[in-house]
Amino acid sequence: MSERRATVTRETLETRIEVSVDLDGSGSGRFETGVPFLDHMLDQVARHGLIDLVVKAQGDLHIDAHHTVEDIGITLGQAFARAVGDKKGIRRYGHAYVPLDEALSRVVVDFSGRPGLEFQVDFPRARIGEFDVDLFLEFFQGFVNHAQVTLHIDNLRGRNAHHIAETVFKAFGRALRMALEADPRMQGITPSTKGSL
């Protein structure tokens, strides 16, 4: 496989986002989003996905974090789509179950070329610190739409909102890692009966 890296900059009247990804990295991350809890979650994706990830964001945080979080998801999705390229030789599908104390989440991803999100996560409270948990859905919807993936996220149990969020993002990173791994039996082959994704 050739180098699977990309840098994408996205600028609107509300935000300026820059994302760099290396899908074959070591799990290093650098995050300057202005949204500390999101930085913490993105770090889980990098570490558990073994993806090198840099995210810098400037947004209208004086209003709230909505535009910033959503636009980071969009830009991250664009960077993944660019880095993954023609998808030849990848496993395509990935899944992970991750526990943290009482919480357990499952994430399943398909680099299908078709955007679709099923997000079944009920948080026991509306905020984790200053972070509005409604924004997780916006983040993942932005990612899905622009990475062109099918993504199922299910929290199976949990009482602590922080634990639930952490299991979701760790499982997301691990599912990405599995889906994007080289399949030694699929060298140079697109993993689809259609011949393209």
What is the pLDDT, as a whole number, of residue 119? 98
What is the pLDDT, as a whole number, of residue 8? 98
In a domain, 25, yes or no: yes
**What is the 8-class DSSP label of residue 95?**
E
What is the pLDDT, as a whole number, of residue 1? 61
Identity of the residue numbered 128: I
C-alpha to C-alpha distance for 152 and 174, rounded to whole angstroms? 13
What is the pLDDT, as a whole number, of residue 185? 87
In a domain, 105, yes or no: yes
**Which residues span the domain enclosing 144?**
5-186
- Residue 102: is its pLDDT beyond 80? yes
pTM (whole model) above 0.85: yes
CATH of the domain at 18: 3.30.230.40
Share of the chain above pLDDT 70, in %: 99
Rg, Å, the chain Cα set: 16
